[in-house]
Structure 1
Amino acid sequence: MRHTLPLAPQFYVTAPQPCPYLPGRMERKLFTSLQGTTAEELNGALSQQGFRRSQNVLYRPACSECTACLSARIDISRFKPSKSQRRALNRNARLERRATSPWATDAQYALFRKYLDSRHADGGMADMDVFEFAAMIEETPIRTRVIEYSDRDTGALVAVCLTDVLDDGVSMVYSFFDPEFEKDSLGTFIILDHIQIAREAGLPYVYLGYWVPGSPKMHYKARFTGLEVYADGAWQIMRDPADYEGQSHPLAVDPIAEQVAGISLPDMCR
């Protein structure tokens, strides 16, 4: 007997586990599978509602007592680089960008390991082997590119970003770089270059992933002008970061059933 997948996506919630951003808190995620002929449409629609992609899964924080994590994007029509960001562009003028299909290479994995060992040796990805890395890069049912940055003089691979192409922007899924060049503000440069990529493609937004007020790891995202965050069910222009300190209370978050009921799906996924 042949079985078919349900047309409407099914949503699930993960078990609570320690939050990687705010000590003493627990995280939980709402997620759904990304597959089939409607994957592009579903990814686009849910990205506009604060979801992020990881391989063939879309997820959004659904913590039971905290609302700190906010999806962030840059409206490039309102972006103006600061003096320090212009310096980051100048310091990395030697780098050449190359966009490729989502295919993992040995050079990428070597750089990835170097980055993790230097900056995130105790993180959740620290034990990722070459096969898991390849899956992260290659398992995508939507339009995805690997953006590589190489030194023009030496040819060395210096930075990489896995980037999804949406109807309204580019989404930076995951980036990593050579920690030896951290002083050159490579993380900032990659975002600045993605703003340029979006401009070249005529797309209005650069999706940055989650911004977590109170987390030092995420503070850099608040430095970009034109920033918007997804809060209270809508995108809004970034106010004072202090205004977004996440609540920690059992009544701060809607029940999962209400969250799912409030998700807007594209017509072909209903």
Structure 2
Amino acid sequence: MSQYKNLKFYATQPHECSYLPEEQATTLFLDPETPLGKELCSDLADIGFRRSGQHIYRPHCSRCRACIPARIPVDAFQMRRAQRKTWNRNSTLMVAKVSADFQDEHYLLYEKYINQCHQDGDMYPATIEQYTTFLVESTEFSSFYEFRLDGQLLAVSVVDHLRSSLSAIYTFYDPGFSQRSLGRYCILWLIAEARKLNLPYLHLGYWIRNCQKMNYKLEYRPVELFISQKWQQLK
């Protein structure tokens, strides 16, 4: 990272945390004028940064360290019994990699997902502007993976292809197919895809111990957590 010593970062003012309401959050952003090349984004992902649209960020809270970056070492991962059932249940889904462009079909699924599943979140209600800024304004190494059943779009995973990993930016799916556990299946599929591409890791974003919505990330073992500036494996 020494080659990036002149990078500029900016911190937001403290604001209400989206995950822990009792806490005040501060976010560190890379200067938005910095070109988002694959090598830079890969290096920053390796030290816990994430991408949202054209922004690269990391929590930078003064008294809270609850947001912990998590990644899966894909070669060491083995499905558990429940995960195997989820995998088999969705074996008939067809998956296609498409460019990260705006498509009405994608947005309508995103809108349905946000408005039905995340009414308590800061992305509710969904809007085209929010969706575009968050997911469509991406990078040249970003892709959408479509998951379809008999032609019907059930889920979309937005993914960055980094130097040594896939980074799962966001996944949205049809809440009418809850019995399929589509969110969990998409992670299993991305683990398999990273392995197929000979990429060692799948980045899953931040895990927060006291946030129930984040607990699913520890279902994928072993998982590595970025603590005290180094990746530590949790088996």
Classify the TM-score, shorter chain.
Answer: over 0.9
1:24-68: CA deviations, max 9, x gaps? 111111111355556222111110000000111111111111111
Given that 1:34 and 1:42 are in contact with CA atoms closer than 8 Å, whether structure 2 keeps it comes out as no
* Ranges in structure 1 where 5+ consecutive residues have no aligned partner: 1-5, 240-270
Which residue in the other structure is 1:98 paired with? Answer: 96
Amino acid corresponding to residue 177 of structure 1 in structure 2? Y
TM-superposed CA distance for 1:210, in Å, is 0.5
* SS of residue paired to 1:109: helix
Q: Compute the TM-score of the two structures, normalised by the length of structure 1.
A: 0.82
Aligned to 1:236: 232
**Larger strand proportion of the pair:** 2
2:128 aligned residue: 130
Q: Which runs of 5+ in 2 are unaligned?
A: none
Identity %: 36
Asked if 1:176 corresponds to 2:172, the answer is yes
TM-score, normalised on structure 2? 0.93
SS at match of 1:8: coil
Of 85, 88, 92, which aligns to 1:87?
85
Q: Which structure has the higher relative contact order (CA within 8 Å, separation 6+)?
A: 1
Would you say 1:191 and 2:181 are equivalent positions? no
| Post-superposition CA distance 1:136-177 (Å, at most 9, x none) | 3332234000011011x2x11000011000001100001111
C-alpha distance in structure 1 between counterparts of 2:114 and 2:36, whole Å = 34
Cα separation, 2, equivalents of 1:141 and 1:95: 27
2:119 maps to which of 121, 124, 133 = 121
CA contact (8 A) 2:225 2:234 kept: yes
CA offsets 1:179-226 (integer angstroms, 9 cap, x no match): 111221111100000011101111000000000011100111111112
Aligned residues: 232
Alpha-carbon distance in structure 1 between the residues aligned to 2:23 and 2:34: 35
Return the match for 1:224 from 209, 212, 220.
Answer: 220
Equivalent residues of 2:38, 2:163 under 8 A apart: no
Contact 2:10 2:31 in 1 (8 A): no
- Aligned partners of 2:19, 2:5: CA distance in 1, in Å? 35
Asked whether the equivalents of residues 33 and 56 of structure 1 are also in contact (C-alpha less than 8 Å), the reply is no
Question: Does 125-134 or 73-82 show the bigger shift?
Answer: 125-134
Which stretch has the larger CA shift, 217-226 or 117-126? 117-126
Q: Which runs of 4+ in 1 moved over 3 A?
A: 33-38
Name the structure 1 match of 2:141: 143
1:64 aligns to what?
62
Give the alignment partner of residue 166 of structure 1, picking from 146, 162, 166: 162
Moved more, 132-141 or 165-174: 132-141
Q: Secondary structure at the match of 2:84?
A: helix
Is the 1:161–1:174 Cα contact (8 Å) retained in structure 2?
A: yes
